[in-house]
Chain A
Amino acid sequence: MKNYLYSIILITIFLFIWETGARFVHTSFILPAPTEIAMKLWELKVELLLYHLPVTLVIIAIGLGISLVLGIALAISMNISKTLEQAIYPILITSQTIPIIALAPIFVLWFGYSIWSKVIVTIIITFFPITVSTFDGFQSTSKELKELFQTLGATKRQLFFKLEVPSALPSFFSGLKVAVPMSVIGAAIGEWLGAQAGLGYFSRRMMTQFNGAGVFAPIVILSLIGILLFITVVLLEKNILKWRRF
């Protein structure tokens, strides 16, 4: 906890300045005070937590899940086949220059207001860090250790599970730590563009009603989801990579 002391002090100061500033400017539809947001959150708790939150969570879960499966599968394939790597890796890197958010409306056109338009945005935004970090992890396998396995007569399968997978794990977790908060952003953007429920959708609806505190309240919950997911990954990482000096 001591490690976070300075951050907590900084945030408290920031919130304090925000609060005084907001009260001074007094335009709560543009800049609601933190206390106003907190009150709004309390007021809307049932609707937000029981109705909108589950919708968003499902999008995040499906999006992240598919991203993990596809990303890991592609990373493994590229690790096995040099040709595949040379064909796909450059495209993967270049694809990051495409402004995905600008493309998002197209998915709404294709998939309508169904859950899939949001899931696709989430997948696209998280697929890259997962794939690239997993692949880089596989590639970081020490050549000398590979040779040692060879001299011990290891099979391809043993080489993969006993050497390449453990070698890739640290990098995979780094990628996952980037991807997890991004999945929340992806889901929120998706809902922003076209949805009938969800925290992103609710925030946007409040915007059209000039309800400043109402815009911020679901965003607070979205950040909390991001933080919780991140902490989960960190705990998982510490548990699986016990051997590392954290």
Chain B
Amino acid sequence: MREQNKKAALQFKNVDFHYKNTEGKIPILKNLNFSVADGEFVSIIGASGSGKSTIFRLIVGLEALTSGSICLNEKAVDNRSGKVGYMPQQDLLMPWRTVQQNAALPLELKKENHLDRKTVKNLLEAFGLKGYENKYPHELSGGMRQRVSFLRATLSGSNVLLLDEPFSALDAMTKLYMQEWLLEQWEQQQSTILFITHDISEALFLSDRIFVITETPITALKEIEVPLERPRRQQDLDKKEVTELKNNLLEQFRTRV
């Protein structure tokens, strides 16, 4: 298993948040606390509309906290735009940019153009996109587009990556392949990943810990340790303690629907 130092990469401290609409306030988070360690892989699962994406939107600064604070690397940061790598629910590539230009966007926006060519070229190769540098998004498969989008998130230069259901649109085979690929990248880059998914098997296969959202407004996340060593293989999901855990989780969601 990969070594984890105890430092926290991301922390929520007494965070309150509500959306406003014409009828009034819709509370989503109430005095929420949680912490993700540096180098950890954490999945968030919860019913549709339970507030998973909202947690990400708060972290990247697209929504403003009502109260409380969010810490990055143990420091409270108020303006977090540009400070966390974010891969939104769709791949969101720009159709007028080539693979390389899409991936390099964060560098370009930070005016770190000197990094563009070499870094991006090498990374594209590492991400299995060699030979596709100058292709446009519509010429790629779904899995490839996800990899470009993931590379772009990586290039934001942050050690914290937020991935919002990145594989939900992929077919089962590609999905399995991408999961293994993602673990490889994570191990190489030593990043901290927060991963939203609807797929319990996916969460079990990938994560060190799983955060389960049991109710909205969210007052606490139910934290579950995944009892699996690394490196993992898909077969490991058939182990008894894992199948039990899985059935447990499924049961919880069934009663809630």
Q: List A residues at the B interface (Cβ < 8 Å).
A: 142, 144-145, 147-155, 158, 162-163, 166, 169, 241, 243-245
SS of B interface (majority)? loop
Bound together, the chains give a CA A169 to CA B97 distance in angstroms of: 13
Given contacts A243-B95, A243-B96, contact A151 B90 (CB under 8 A): no
User: Are the CB atoms of A152 and B106 closer together than 8 Å?
Assistant: yes
Lowest 4 CB-CB distances: which A-B pairs, in order? A153-B82, A151-B60, A153-B81, A243-B136
Report how many residues on chain B are interfacial, defined by Cβ distance under 8 Å: 24
**Contact A152–B109 (Cβ < 8 Å):** yes
Give, as a whole number of angstroms, the nearest-CB distance from B61 to chain A: 7
Interface residues as binary, B61-96 with A (CB distance below 8 Å gives 1, 0 otherwise): 110000000000000000001111010101010111
**Given A151-B61, A151-B62, residue A144 in contact with residue B82 (CB < 8 A):** no
Residue numbers in A under 8 Å from B86 (CB-CB): 148, 151
24 pairs from A and B in contact (CB 8 Å cutoff): A144-B90, A145-B92, A148-B88, A149-B109, A150-B61, A151-B60, A151-B81, A151-B82, A151-B84, A151-B86, A152-B81, A152-B82, A152-B105, A152-B106, A152-B109, A162-B108, A241-B96, A243-B96, A243-B97, A243-B98, A243-B136, A243-B138, A244-B95, A245-B138
Chain B residues with CB under 8 Å of A150's CB are 61-62, 81
Q: Are B96 and A166 in contact, with the CB atoms below 8 A?
A: yes
Using Cβ atoms and an 8 Å threshold, which residues of chain B touch A153? 81-83, 109-110
- Nearest opposing residue in chain A for B105, CB measure: A152
- Evaluate whether A144 and B60 lie within 8 angstroms (CB atoms) in the complex, with A150-B81, A153-B81, A153-B110 already known: no
What would 6 more interface pairs be, CB under 8 Å, given A144-B92, A148-B88, A243-B138? A144-B90, A150-B81, A152-B82, A152-B109, A243-B98, A244-B95
The reply to whether A144 and B109 contact each other, CB–CB distance below 8 Å, is: no
CA distance A147 to B81 in the complex (A): 10
Do most interface residues of chain A lie in helix, strand or loop, or is the interface mixed?
Answer: helix
A152 to B83, CA, bound (A): 8
Which parts of B91-148 form the interface with A (CB within 8 Å)? 92, 94-98, 105-106, 108-110, 136, 138
List A contacts of B105 (CB < 8 A).
152, 162
B110 contact set on A, CB distance < 8 A: 153
Residues from chain B with a CB closer than 8 A to the CB of A163 are 94
A241 CA to B95 CA in the complex, in Å? 10
Q: A150-B81, A152-B106 are in contact. Are A166 and B94 (CB under 8 A)?
A: yes
Q: Which of A149, A151, A166, A169 has the most CB of B within 10 A?
A: A151
Q: Is the CB of A148 within 8 A of B81?
A: no
B197 at the interface (CB under 8 A from A): no
The distance from the CB of A222 to the nearest CB of chain B, in whole angstroms, is 35
Q: Among B92, B96, B108, B110, find the residue whose CB has the most chain A CB atoms closer than 10 A.
A: B96
What is the minimal beta-carbon distance from A82 to any residue of chain B, in angstroms? 19
B159 at the interface (CB under 8 A from A): no
A150 to B84, CA, bound (A): 12
CB distance from B228 to the nearest CB of A (A): 32
Complexed CA–CA distance, A153 and B106 (Å):
9
When C-beta atoms are compared, the residue in chain A nearest to B156 turns out to be A152
Cβ-closest chain A residue relative to B84:
A151
CA distance A89 to B55 in the complex (A): 38
A192–B82 Cα distance when bound, in Å, is 59
CA–CA, A244 and B136, complex, Å? 9
What is the CA–CA distance of A169 and B61 in the complex, to the nearest angstrom? Answer: 29
